[in-house]
């Protein structure tokens, strides 16, 4: 497993590329504004075929550069949980809500991510975990063999994802947090914001995480 990371955009959001070097197949996880192009260029330089843009959820800061990805890799499939697809199709609603000065083209998904689904990047296998709370269709990707979790905005930068947006759900967030914290403590967490850490480190230092799990 090879992992590339870039951080940027209005919300300083992380984007990751995970590749199977043996097959030269790669996938991008989330595409923040002004962030995807350097990763796309690195994929090309390494001879990787970027087969997908897999979204942890469809908030604007995770989808903004979707056209950058698909313009350079036309075969890349944009996948999202069906409960978050309306955010992709009506992205202008988010733009108005946040008063943002950027334009993001609306689109539909090429396919859906479902809880318990196994997805492949070459020989790498990930299990899709539906982890609602921050967003109804939020998902995480667990690579059990590699001890890696692409976590989106579930656990972020020593805190947790916001639950004060109109379609957030604090109770669902608590259940989702408990679910991922049942994974092995050594699991490496690739978050939507903030530095890479481990579940053990978050359990030890993340006060917001402990408060949410203990209080719901």
Tens-place pLDDT, residues 22-78: 999 999 999 999 999 999 999 999 999 999 999 999 999 999 999 999 999 999 999
Instruction: List 111's β-bridge partners, or say none.
Output: 79
Q: What is the pTM of this model?
A: 0.96
Tell me the CATH class for 2-215.
alpha beta
pLDDT of residue 216: 44
Decide if pLDDT at 165 tops 90.
Answer: no
If 0-12 CB within 10 Å is exposed, 13-18 middle and 19+ buried, where does residue 40 land?
buried
DSSP 135: S
Residue whose tokens read 């480190």 = 201
| 134-144 pLDDT tens trace | 999 999 999 99
**Would the CA dihedral through 201, 205, 210, 211 be positive or negative?**
negative
State yes or no: pLDDT of 156 exceeds 80.
yes
Q: Where are the domains of the chain?
A: 2-215
Q: Convert 47-96 into a string of H (helix), E (strand) and C (coil).
A: CCEEEEEECCCCCHHHHCCHHHHHHHCCCCEEEECHHHHHHHHCHHHHHH
Q: What is the pLDDT of residues 76-88, one digit of tens each?
A: 999 999 999 999 9
Instruction: Give me Rg for the CA atoms of the chain.
Output: 16
Pairwise CA distance, residues 98 & 203, whole Å: 32
* Mean of the per-residue pLDDT values of the chain: 96
């Amino acid at each position: 497993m090879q992992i590339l990371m870039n951080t940027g955009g209005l919300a300083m959001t992380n984007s990751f590329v995970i590749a199977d070097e043996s097959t030269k197949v790669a996938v991008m996880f989330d595409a923040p504004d002004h962030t995807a192009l350097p990763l796309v260029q690195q994929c090309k330089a390494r001879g990787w075929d970027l087969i997908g843009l897999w979204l942890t959820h469809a908030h604007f800061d995770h989808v903004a550069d979707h056209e950058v990805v698909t313009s350079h890799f036309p075969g890349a499939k944009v996948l999202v949980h069906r409960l978050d697809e309306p955010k992709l199709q009506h992205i202008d609603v988010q733009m108005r809500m946040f008063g943002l000065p950027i334009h993001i083209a609306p689109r539909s998904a090429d396919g859906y991510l479902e809880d318990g689904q196994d997805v492949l990047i070459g020989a790498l296998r990930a299990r899709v975990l539906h982890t609602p709370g921050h967003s109804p269709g939020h998902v995480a990707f667990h690579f059990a063999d590699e001890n890696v979790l692409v976590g989106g905005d579930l656990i972020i930068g020593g805190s947790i994802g916001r639950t004060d947006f109109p379609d957030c759900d604090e109770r669902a967030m608590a259940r989702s947090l408990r679910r991922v914290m049942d994974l092995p403590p050594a699991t490496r967490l690739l978050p939507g914001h903030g530095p890479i850490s481990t579940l053990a480190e978050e359990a030890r230092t993340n006060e917001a995480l402990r408060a949410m799990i203990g209080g719901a």
